[in-house]
Structure 1
Amino acid sequence: MNQKLAIAVVSGAFIALAPFSPQAAQPAASVASSATIAGVSVLQAEGIVQAVDRIAHTVTVKDAASGQATFNVSPDSTKLSELKAGDKVRVRMVRDVVITLSPRGASNANGQIVANADPVSQNNVAAELVTIDQKTGVLALRGPKGAMFHIQANSTAQLAHLSPGMHVEVAYAPTATVSVSAP
């Protein structure tokens, strides 16, 4: 797995996982709407195994904040036969993303910002760029409910036209690679 992925690790509660560029002279609306940035999101958290379903390849984990989630685990990345209820584990979820520039976020018919703030269950999140690290390619974003999250861009060259304050739509891939291991 690419070592750059480790840079974009976000730690947090399973249920509260929120996910959740520089052309400063031009407003976001004037930037080409077809401009997209490909990247990856890595979410990581620790918890206690509640249940293991070896046939369905799922693991249910409860975190320290009493959040509980069931993950479809990649069979090749986790030895389910070694997991049992009560084990302390680290869950790592990797998903591809595409970021598209938006003048003020996507709006519904009533003009309200469309805001899906859970990258575990949702595929799109409206966000605001907070910082751009041109050296590492890591973008810090603020989701619609104020939660911060990070995306690792596949190429730092894609970030040249971005600046803090721009609004974007983050489209998460519908599937993720999930691994469970000892912390």
Structure 2
Amino acid sequence: MKDRIRGIVAGVLFAAVPLVSLAAGLPAPFEGSSTLQADGVVKSVDMATHAVAVLDAQGAEASFNITDTSNFAQIRPGSKVHIRMTRNAVVSITRGADAHDAAQLASSGSVQNVVAQVQAVDHASGVMALKGANGSVFHIRGRDAAKVAGVTPGMQVTVAFAPQVSVAVAPVQ
């Protein structure tokens, strides 16, 4: 029950973030997605749970629960694979302190939030390069490139990632 109430409160607070952005004269929040792709060698496969453990080029291991199982039957230990993970997100332009406060409030629910700074924007494609607090750079593609038009390098954003991740695996040809 506590988790449900916490989720409801977090949802209400997260819904308030767009209102703060609009009131401050900042670009309106917009939807986008982040895609991460990597190649590796399969260490193990669990056909029952659709899980696969993969070793990357440096020998680090990562496990994935595959949601797109169209190629899953072809995956075997020792085979080279391409992993593609996609997450939907809502990007809100905020001012420094507002971004941190919004991220902390909304992180109490099932939504994962990341505060980042815009490094570059390709307005034609709607793709933004964002630098997180830990220094890592990641990319978000806006669903509608026109909504990214008001975003410029140096702006502070809060990215609210959806809890669902779409993960596909395919053999490397």
TM more than 0.5: yes
SS in 2 for 1:106: helix
Instruction: Specify the alignment match of 2:31 in structure 1.
Output: 38
What is the rounded CA distance, in whole Å, between the counterparts of 2:153 and 2:54 in structure 1?
35
What is the rounded CA distance, in whole Å, between the counterparts of 1:170 and 1:48 in structure 2?
31
What is the rounded CA distance, in whole Å, between the counterparts of 2:70 and 2:146 in structure 1?
31
Structure 1: runs of 5 or more not aligned: 1-27, 115-121
> What is the CA deviation profile of residues 142-172 of structure 1, one whole-angstrom value per residue up to 9, with x for unaligned ones?
1112111111110111112211111111111
Instruction: Specify the alignment match of 1:78 in structure 2.
Output: 71
8 A contact 1:92–1:179 mirrored in 2: yes
1:64 paired with 2:57, answer: yes
8 A contact 1:46–1:88 mirrored in 2: yes
8 A contact 2:68–2:166 mirrored in 1: no
1:52 paired with 2:45, answer: yes
8 A contact 2:127–2:142 mirrored in 1: yes
TM-score (norm 2): 0.75
Instruction: Specify the alignment match of 1:95 in structure 2.
Output: 87
What is the rounded CA distance, in whole Å, between the counterparts of 1:75 and 1:165 in structure 2?
36
Larger proportion of helix: 2
One-letter code aligned to 2:134: K
Q: CA RMSD in A?
A: 2.2
Q: Which of 96, 100, 113 pairs up with 1:106?
A: 100
Instruction: Specify the alignment match of 2:117 in structure 1.
Output: 128
One-letter code aligned to 1:65: Q
What is the rounded CA distance, in whole Å, between the counterparts of 1:61 and 1:78 in structure 2?
15
One-letter code aligned to 1:141: L
Deviation of residue 29 (structure 1)? 9.0
8 A contact 1:57–1:75 mirrored in 2: no
One-letter code aligned to 2:59: S
1:170 paired with 2:159, answer: yes
Rg bigger for which structure?
Answer: 2
TM-score (norm 1): 0.71
8 A contact 1:128–1:143 mirrored in 2: yes
What is the rounded CA distance, in whole Å, between the counterparts of 1:141 and 1:29 in structure 2?
24
Structure 2: runs of 5 or more not aligned: 1-21, 105-110
% identity of equivalent residues: 36
Instruction: Could you list the structure 1 runs, at least 4 aligned residues long, displaced by more than 3 angstroms after superposition.
Output: none
1:158 paired with 2:150, answer: no
What is the rounded CA distance, in whole Å, between the counterparts of 1:181 and 1:167 in structure 2?
36
> What is the CA deviation profile of residues 4-38 of structure 1, one whole-angstrom value per residue up to 9, with x for unaligned ones?
xxxxxxxxxxxxxxxxxxxxxxxx993348x2121
